[in-house]
Amino acid sequence: MISYPCRLVLHEHTQSHGDLFILFGELLITYEWPASDLSPVFSAVACGPFEIHQSETGLKLIRKADHRLFYWDHSGEVSGNRGFIRQIARGNIFMMNDSFPQEICVKI
């Protein structure tokens, strides 16, 4: 397995959700994390280091368009009246390889 730095942000607007950012070189790979499934993240962060593991089963995340590196450290307003983001977790994701498919299953 390969470890990559990741951050999970909460995007708060009319359709709130989480974005999982994975730093891969100069790319910010992005997957959408359903807001309804964020509570285990808060529990994991409270207990210590945050790790996500790609798995064969688990929470299904859908890949979105890569985001600009600006968002790696950004918390606050998103341009274009698209709401606000706040970082809720930093840690690592352990991927099976260095490809980032359209869908991944993850476990905390």
Q: What is the pTM of this model?
A: 0.87
| More confident: 53 or 47 | 53
**H or E stretch covering 55:** strand 50-55
Around Cβ 9, how many Cβ atoms within 10 Å? 24
Task: State residue 46's pLDDT score.
Answer: 64
**pLDDT tens per residue across span 58-87:** 899 999 999 999 999 998 988 888 889 888
Distance between CA atoms of residues 30 and 73, nearest Å: 14
